[in-house]
Amino acid sequence: MKGEAKPLLGNGGGGGDVPSVVLIFTCWVCTGIMANFTVVMPLTIYFTGGNLLRVAGIVSAYAIGAILSLFFWSTYNAHAIRPAYLTHATVMFAGNLLFAFADIGELTWISYVARFVIGLEGGCMYNANLALVSRSSPSRRLKYLCYYQSFVGVGLVLGPAISAFCVAFATTMGSLGDRMMYVGLVMAFWGLTLLVCLLIFMPHDEPVKLLPADTPEKTTAGSAFYALAGNFWRIFQRLAWEVGAVLILAEYFHWGGVAAGFALSFFGAAQGVVQYAYSGSGRDPATDLKLFDTLELLGICAMFSKTAATGDWRVFFNVTFLMGAIVFYVSSCMTSAPFNALVLGRHVDYERTLLMSQYGIFLAFLCAPFAARGAFLLDVASPSTIAGVLLCGWACQTLVNHSLLADLDARLCAGIGLATALLMVWLCFDRAVGGTGWTSVFTYHPIFMTWSFFGCMTPGQYVYKNKFLAFFDGDERADRRKSHALWMALAALFALVGYGCIFAAHYQNGESQIGVGEEWSRTLHVAIGYPLLVWFCVQVTVGAIKARTTSTPAFKWHGASGKYLLLAGYVNSALGFWLHMNYSRQGPWRLPTKLALTACSIALFGFRALDFDDDDAPPPSRQQEEEQPLRKDIL
């Protein structure tokens, strides 16, 4: 009876620790949902009757059910955790029974229906998250968000492991065709066991005392967007890797489906252990978010490899891929707790914010499989292909992170710009990766243009930010202006040389200088390029005039003009990266190369477009103390 049941809250709600019984069942529910979703991934390599995108569809069918079910699950608020968990267990049991007896191996229509029905239980992740957030104090919320992520990690371990065990068991029994049925029956038994235990041990809910931040008048604008976008990109990253890695490990590494399934479990276990250790650290979430974001980037970079490598080099690249993958995966998972802690610390409507986070998660469930497998269709299933997809995802994710923090690290932006310019030199000179070689006049057009916009103009616009100080001597305004002028002069010189190279290449080949008779993408690139070049000349001329009239404000539009010039340069450069025109003996640039360059463009475009305010404006020199402070129009 409800009156005799032990209350959920032992401290009045929202003011301390989550009761143990709630924590245990929340763990059970979270792990079950994630296991339900990931259990099918090792099985996809055995599916017949469909290409890579159809296989991605069987993974994403779960996400469609989960997205549509969220409206239903949102009717269970913080006062109704027990009935939500009971409903979850029932749907899990019924859906997996259908899955067990569906002809999943041939990818018939019932296969998609079965996964869709199972996905209807996914929305209960919202209720599980709400159970922890509504019953913990703000000072302890990071701890429980880490617990929540560790529960997800356990599910990531169990899903592929259950799948691998079932495949191994079916192989041993000589009934490999029944592997799908065994998986469905195991997960159905999970749901039935959870249902029985909930009925016996889960107490009835009592009203939860809402925190002051739950009241609408204190909510902070934009929190719902950050919850949706931030969680979308985090889940997109890890899921794209999982969907791609299972195929890479099974076929590219020749490990087979069982070993690939256990490998995914190892990655899930690693992040779960780190999440649990981090939960008791009491660290600053903003600092940690930046750290994990950086580690994630380093891990992705280590995953790029040379597909055609053989012998010892093949072993070397395989090892670096695995090492980079573990750094990437753990770091990506570790960003979730500090990010969501920062979002929930903004005075939010918790139920709405958590609901938006679940929409973001399930949208990633839907999109990531198609992104990963689609990239494999366009190129090949290789470590570099999935690394290119992840790098684009990281660019979008880090923009959301820095937007939430309202923080810009100018050194990061300058570093990305310089790295892109250096990468372009290699990609153009090396014929083995699709470059045209040093003997081709055309080679020097993308090199000099990339150095102009990415390698010089990018750091040149960030010299006025205080975090850029490490790149030059002196911190007074005059020193910054000199540095800015030097960077921009180099940018203008490189742009003119780059244009001269493409003009000469077109002349040698008898091609139109204005893109007439070419593919539409090349014509568009030329149509944008000429106005940009004229704009650049005007910008440099005005900048030179301003440099000679520092005591009197002049051409106040110069700063804004430079910003939009650089943004347009990023766009046209990204378009140029995808042009089908740089042939060599190996053909044009491969997809991973184009994705990597595009990711750099996305990151730099986003940082410059967001244009975070710099709270620490550079101090004036002694001679300029009486003059007007540094104006925003020159930033």
Distance CA 305, CA 548 (A): 50
User: What is the model's pLDDT at position 630?
Assistant: 41
User: What is the model's pLDDT at position 272?
Assistant: 77
User: What is the model's pLDDT at position 196?
Assistant: 97
In sequence order, the 6+-apart residues with CB closer than 8 A to the CB of 214 are 349, 350, 351
Distance CA 66, CA 194 (A): 19
- End-to-end, the C-alpha distance of the chain in Å comes to 67
User: What is the model's pLDDT at position 297?
Assistant: 95
CB burial of 27-59 (b: ≥16 within 10 Å; e: otherwise) equals bbbbbbbbbbbbbbbbbbbbbeeeebeebbbbb
Measured between alpha carbons, how far is residue 20 from residues 24, 32, 184, 590 in Å?
A: 6, 18, 30, 52
Angle at 583 between CA 578 and CA 585, to 5 degrees: 135
User: What is the model's pLDDT at position 53?
Assistant: 67
Contact 39, 181 (CB under 8 A): no
Among 173, 166, 168, residue whose Cα is nearest residue 187: 166
Element (H, E) at 483: helix 477-509
Distance CA 455, CA 487 (A): 9
Average pLDDT for runs of 10 along the chain of length 635? 40 63 94 90 67 74 92 89 95 91 65 89 92 84 84 83 87 78 92 96 72 48 86 93 89 85 84 78 82 95 83 88 95 91 80 89 91 88 93 96 85 91 93 85 94 94 69 61 88 94 87 76 89 92 78 76 94 90 57 94 93 46 41 39
Token couple for 633: 């129009």
Distance CA 456, CA 451 (A): 6
- For 542, list phi and psi in degrees, rounded to 5: -65, -40
User: What is the model's pLDDT at position 608?
Assistant: 92
User: What is the model's pLDDT at position 480?
Assistant: 77
In sequence order, the 6+-apart residues with CB closer than 8 A to the CB of 254 are none
Total residue count of the chain as it appears in this document = 635
User: What is the model's pLDDT at position 390?
Assistant: 97
User: What is the model's pLDDT at position 468?
Assistant: 61
> DSSP letters of 103-152?
-GGGT-HHHHHHHHHHHTTTTHHHHHHHHHHHTS-GGGHHHHHHHHHHHH
Distance CA 150, CA 154 (A): 6
Residue whose token pair is 């008779």: 517
Distance CA 361, CA 424 (A): 35
Contact 629, 618 (CB under 8 A): no
Amino acid at 527: A
User: What is the model's pLDDT at position 264?
Assistant: 83
pTM greater than 0.75 = yes
User: What is the model's pLDDT at position 14?
Assistant: 47
Contact 123, 358 (CB under 8 A): yes
Contact 411, 471 (CB under 8 A): yes
Residue whose token pair is 């360059």: 597
Domains and CATH numbers, the chain: 20-405 (1.20.1250.20), 410-634 (1.20.120.1770)
Task: Judge residue 79's burial from the number of C-beta atoms within 10 Å of its C-beta, 0-12 exposed, 13-18 middle, 19 or more buried.
Answer: middle
